[in-house]
Chain A
Amino acid sequence: MVYDIPSDMSQAATVARYEVLKYLRGKKLLIVLAIIGLIVTLFLVVPPALGHDYPSDSTDFAMQFLNFGGLVILLCATFFGSDALVAEFQQRTAFLVFPNPVKRWVILAGKFIASLAASALVLGIFYGLIAVIVGVIDHDVPSALASSLAFSLIYTVAVLAVAYLLSAYLKSTVSSSILTFFMFFLILPVIDSVLTFAAVKPWFSLSFVGGVMTYIMQSPYPTDSSLTVGMGHSGMQIMQYYPEIALSVAVIVAYTVVALALAYWRFSRRDL
């Protein structure tokens, strides 16, 4: 019997729904939330335990938490994105799904929507906790926190897109997860540091532009500066670069488009 096959968008929604179910039933969502709980708890427990007060300025207090925002996004990309495509091939579930009347880009889109939804949930909880804690302790919630959340969400799209790209090309879920994590945790930050040391602003680096989510809390927004260390001939100038918001958004869009296009190209041609 030939049924009225649903539209591509409707099928993508179905794929997304069942992917979200995977996160809910698996331990991934739980692990990410546990790590967030640990970060927040440490920030609440350690300062008083060492005899320090919490920052009295709500923006400073919120920024302490937001320094870990990049790590939270990276965990989301690693747990929800890095194995999304490769697992279909490695775990042979593609043999079940692909012979159905559903296009591969629809499968990719559904999975990506689910990854994004799970990441947005995690970020929502993270920012929600920051707002509650800062609000309770400092009696003020900085309005820039909303801008930071908005930026972190679009930054997550790009990081997930890169994770999907790796997932489309690599052959195992483990290698894809490890490479995704270390790319953003180590490799790109090291490149950013080296470029900065060489007085080259890494405006094109995805990890560099991620800093906007913290800097956006500051008013005025920080601008590039230099610092001279040492005296006389041995003095050395160290540059301090800050990502520009508009340019960073453009970089994020470029990474997202290119990474997803390449991921789709590979995913749609990957044979079983």
Chain B
Amino acid sequence: MHYVVTDTMTVIRTEGLTRNYGNFRAVDHLDMEIEEGVCVGFLGPNGAGKSTTIKMLTTLLRPSEGKAYIHGHDVQTDGKKALSDVGAVVETPEFYPYLTPEESLTYLGRLRGMPGPELKKRIDEVLELVKMEEWRDKRIGTFSKGMKQRLAIAQAIMHDPSLIILDEPTSGLDPRGMVEVRDIIRRLKGEGKTIFMSSHLLNEVQEVADTVIMIERGKVILHDRVDALAKYSKSRRIEIQFLTPQTPATTDILKGMAGVKSVEWFGNTVCQITIEGGVEAQRELLAEAVKKGLDVVSFRESGMPLENLYMDLIKDSR
């Protein structure tokens, strides 16, 4: 049956999207919906099916089963319409080495039907945005991976698409480049764009994404808002710093407290405790530590909530 999305707020929709490589199923009947204006972090370990899903959304791969729709258009049968309002960076694309950034962007802009004067104006804007304006008339053949990645982002946003699909957008960038790309993503998010972004960098996702979709072995294991993730977390890590060096007796005291799963020392004044439960368990642990006379000078959650949750969920699914 041919499916037509009637809900105009749904930008991406997959139905039973599946991709097999021989006997290996990379994406397994993936169902998901991405709504308009949302920045989605698409997470999962290596081989979970993130890139395969993105490739199927951008017509680089054909699904073995199922359907993918963008703005209501079937990506496989109506790719031209489906991709008309999409900007994508998939892996680190290579550019034609004999062209300059300006020529490459002009080529892609013409394929998209951007009129001449507007195309020139947008090329100026996006090259400035990705800090590549001084390289605009140099042949791309000699560019580094990071420069190509910046240019890839420039081509993805040049036509001002409402949906931007990014596969590891900070891959190949130095720390400064990563910060700049995150700033660009925030800016696009502020403009109301829908962003679907895969990444290995959990802090990156936590900083910019509204919603997280986690996949493992090709299946969605979590799809929720970033600010609602705490409820999924079964454990948290707490870093405690003591005023004076501690003895093994302190470890015994800590391990005896309710909910403590493990204690790991970093030197003899700092330890990291893994506890079961949420903020309540954290509060009780602190109260008990003080009550038992431990000279605590610092008590704080260590690691990011998303990172802790990721580790929990991925561990559970294996």
Contact = CB atoms under 8 A, between A and B. Distances in A.
Contacts of A182: none
B247 to A, nearest CB: 58
B112 A100 contact: yes
B95 A14 contact: no
A91 B62 CA distance: 20
B94 A96 contact: yes
B60 A272 contact: yes
Contacts of A103: 79-80
B108 A95 contact: no
A99 B161 contact: no
A21 interface: yes
Contacts of B103: 18, 21
Contact of B60 (A3, A15, A26, A271): A271
Contact of B152 (A5, A15, A96, A101): A96
B84 A2 contact: yes
Interface in B259-300: none
A270 to B, nearest CB: 10
Given A1-B160, A6-B113, A100 B108 contact: yes
A101 B112 contact: yes
Interface of chain B, helix or strand or loop or mixed?
loop
Interface string A89-119: 0011111111111110000000000000000
A3 B115 CA distance: 9
Nearest to B155: A96
B85 A26 contact: no
Contacts of A4: 113
A52 interface: no
B91 A5 contact: no
Contacts of A26: 98
A14 B114 CA distance: 12
Given A11-B111, A98-B59, A1 B96 contact: no
Contact of B94 (A3, A18, A22, A93): A93
Interface residues of B, number: 41
A244 to B, nearest CB: 43
Contacts of B108: 96-97, 100
B243 interface: no
A96 B155 CA distance: 9
B110 interface: yes
A233 interface: no
A1 B80 contact: no
A143 to B, nearest CB: 40
A2 B165 CA distance: 16
Contacts of B94: 91-93, 95-96
Given A96-B94, A99-B90, A101-B80, A271 B58 contact: no
Contacts of A95: 60, 90-94
A223 to B, nearest CB: 49
B58 A99 contact: yes
A25 to B, nearest CB: 4
B83 interface: yes
A98 B59 CA distance: 7
A18 B59 contact: no
A22 B107 CA distance: 12
29 contacts: A1-B160, A1-B162, A2-B84, A2-B162, A3-B84, A5-B80, A5-B84, A6-B110, A18-B103, A21-B99, A91-B94, A92-B91, A92-B92, A93-B94, A93-B95, A95-B60, A95-B92, A96-B108, A96-B152, A99-B83, A99-B86, A99-B90, A100-B83, A100-B108, A101-B83, A101-B86, A271-B55, A272-B60, A272-B61
Given A101-B83, A101-B86, A103-B79, 13 more contacts: A3-B114, A3-B115, A18-B96, A21-B99, A21-B103, A22-B96, A26-B98, A91-B94, A95-B92, A95-B94, A101-B79, A102-B111, A271-B60
